[in-house]
A and B are shown apart, each in its own frame.
Chain A
Amino acid sequence: MLFQPAIIALLLADGLSLLLLVPAGLFAIRILRRWDLQSGSAQQIRLEEHTYLVTTGLALVFIAQILTLLLFVFTTDHLAVQFVGAMCAVGTLNANAWGFSALLLRMGLFLLAGTWLVMNYIDSRAYDYPLIRVKYALVLLIVPLALAAAGAQLAFFTGLDADVITSCCGSLFSAGEPAVTADLAGLPPLPAMGTFYTVLGLTILAGAWYALRGRGALLFAGLSAIAFPVSIAAVIAFISLYVYEHPHHHCPFCLLKSEYGYLGYGLYLPLFTATTLAVGLGITSAFAKAASVRAVLAGVAPRLAWTATLLFTLFMLQAIWFTWRSNLILLGE
């Protein structure tokens, strides 16, 4: 276990989040079983009052989740100096079996938390809690995921041991021990490029269509859900190569470093935000049966959809720009 302020912050954030999430999960079960807006019973009024507390708590936790994902990546990158052979976050994450599962769970949590926030934003604008059941069903999905993410993260951090000089052993401690692997393999560039531009182009078209016509929310959400992994794969397969101008450096984390002008933030923040908005909109509109929520959606959906579409476009334009100005030639002249 490494004692590091950032690790302490992450563990503290997870502990506090669970402290708020687990009761929220129990409350969600009560909502799903007892919620009846028509009833004027004392119990229903209590439930309505409590939704304010739980909603605010969940919003706080989910905003914190977005922050802690960033902090997690930051921290693993920063810890790389402590391990033989690790150059950036990939090395640290590979230092034990839990690293990448913790990251993937955190990313999943980020997307679900964002979706919930979008849904909550729309639900709270309608007067009759139209999405309350869906919202709390989603909470029931998030709670186990958060538990798993917190567990994986705890296992990851407690399992980390820095390779430091110990006075007891008189010879080079690290000789003979395998170094941490710090490489990620990428897909071949040409098919990766083709898939990436096709999928992202279609997603952008679907987003614009939905924003203009108010139809095809599910298509947009589905395409975004595909565009997200495809874009990450594209970063690994070719975008990073063009940025580093090196045919074998596939790392998606080094982009976040100052050596490369923090380009990664410009790529990942739009991508994550756009995907979350699109998926949140899709799920919300799929469950939007009541008239009240339809009215709200008609008002806010175009704005959110345009935002998501523009962010996807921004991501694609950056990919094109990095390829254009790079000195690296990946595909033969």
Chain B
Amino acid sequence: MHWFAKQRYLIDYTVAAMLRRRAKNVGLLAVYTTIVFLLASVMLYSNALKQEASVLLKEAPELVVQRMVAGRHDLIPADYLEPLRGIRGVRRLEGRLWGYFYDSTVNANYTFMVPPERDIDPGSIVIGDAIARARGSETGDVLAFRGAGETLYPFRVAEVLPHESAIVAADLVLLSEADFRGFFGIPPGKFTDITLTVANPKEVRTVAEKVVSALPDTRPILREEMQRTYASLFDWREGMVLVLLAGALLAFAILAWEKASGLSADERREIGILKAVGWGTGDVLKMKLWEGGLLSMLAFLLGFTLAYWHVFGTSAALLAPALKGWAVLYPNFELTPAVDGLQLTSLFVITVFPYTASTLVPVWRAAVTHPDVVMR
């Protein structure tokens, strides 16, 4: 109990002393908070993007098989489905039809796709909300695109996909199989790729190996690989931004050192008086460490709260261009708030530890000051 009481008195005194030198401490707090805010924004934002990607990929098929011709992705013949059907462990097998289309009127790429689980009437399309915005069209309008052979294909918009699905569907155009083949000039009996659903996750790799040996000119892509690739892509972007911010961190450490060593005459006298009335070097040191500790806690809380608001309230307005990736029809989406212990601990180590380490020597120098030297 004695220990706690002592620390409480020290904190009391420290807070009073800090309030007496408001200008100096507020300046430092502002810089410290900004540093925490920047780093925390980067971490929170890329983590939320990673989360978003992994949620999306959860729905993806376990295995996608693409045909390769001369090292390039090519259309896959429908008879490739047969040998795959025989592989044990494959629950469902599906040929997909999808592709990209460049719309020169709005300078954007659309994704055309034949939806496997819904039927769309020939002549009509379902479009994503970013396309609807870009082209200014609504349900019932007619959109015309220039397809294969320079023919103009008019489509009636049957539906605009809801905004909630924007992250996947912003640039999506869904159409019927007949329209798709006609529009792109893809002969019947060919697909873009084949998806395989595998019931047991442990068998996916074996199934992939069997696919390669049955059809040597194909490339199987595992969902697990896609997840890994996305995760490391976002990690890499996040890491790059953090490394760029290392300069800021160093500048901050130098500032902290400066602030801590630049004791004013008042402060020197204060320490001298404290020592003269019986404080030991250890007590002054503790007081000064509390000062740093309280400042760190305050800056950490403020910076982290601000970053949270910045990322999840404003969709990371400042950072989005660097981390999100880009596209003309970029989806507008709200991020799902996610904070984990790993981020918090890393952020704490990255910010508070350098601050404390850089104030150590100046703080000690202040603490060992002899009273007679300063009060003379």
Contacts and interface: CB of A to CB of B under 8 A. Distances in A.
A219 B353 CA distance: 37
Given A6-B346, A8-B243, A9-B346, A56 B232 contact: no
A13 B341 contact: no
A60 B356 contact: yes
A71 B357 CA distance: 19
Interface stretch (B75-83, B192-200, B281-289): B281-289
B298 interface: no
B238 A5 contact: yes
Given A3-B243, A8-B239, A67 B225 contact: no
A164 B225 CA distance: 6
Interface in B147-198: none
A82 interface: yes
B353 A3 contact: no
B256 interface: no
A82 to B, nearest CB: 5
Interface stretch (B9-17, B133-141, B204-212): B204-212
15 contacts: A2-B239, A5-B43, A12-B349, A13-B349, A16-B354, A20-B360, A52-B281, A52-B282, A56-B289, A60-B360, A75-B342, A84-B224, A124-B282, A164-B228, A174-B225
Contacts, number: 132
Tier of interface size on chain A: 35 or more
B226 interface: yes
Tier of interface size on chain B: 35 or more
Nearest to B224: A84
A176 B346 CA distance: 36
Given A74-B345, A165-B226, A52 B285 contact: yes
Given A4-B239, A16-B353, A53-B361, A172 B282 contact: no
A82 B220 CA distance: 18
Nearest to B231: A81
Nearest to B349: A9
Interface string A148-168: 000000000000001111000
**Residue of B226, B239, B285, B367 most packed against chain A (CB within 10 A):** B239
Contacts of B347: 5, 9
A5 B226 contact: no
Contacts of A164: 225, 228-229, 232-233
Contacts of B354: 12, 16
A2 B235 contact: yes
B219 interface: yes
B275 to A, nearest CB: 13
Contacts of A5: 42-43, 238-239, 242, 343, 346-347, 350
Nearest to A51: B281
A170 B350 contact: no
Given A4-B239, A5-B242, A175 B349 contact: no
A23 to B, nearest CB: 10
B231 A13 contact: no
A71 B343 CA distance: 10
Nearest to B341: A74
Interface string A170-192: 11111110010000000000000
Nearest to A61: B357
A12 B364 contact: no
Given A12-B350, A52-B282, A56-B360, 15 more contacts: A2-B235, A5-B347, A12-B349, A16-B357, A52-B364, A52-B367, A53-B361, A56-B289, A64-B349, A67-B345, A74-B341, A81-B231, A171-B219, A173-B225, A176-B209
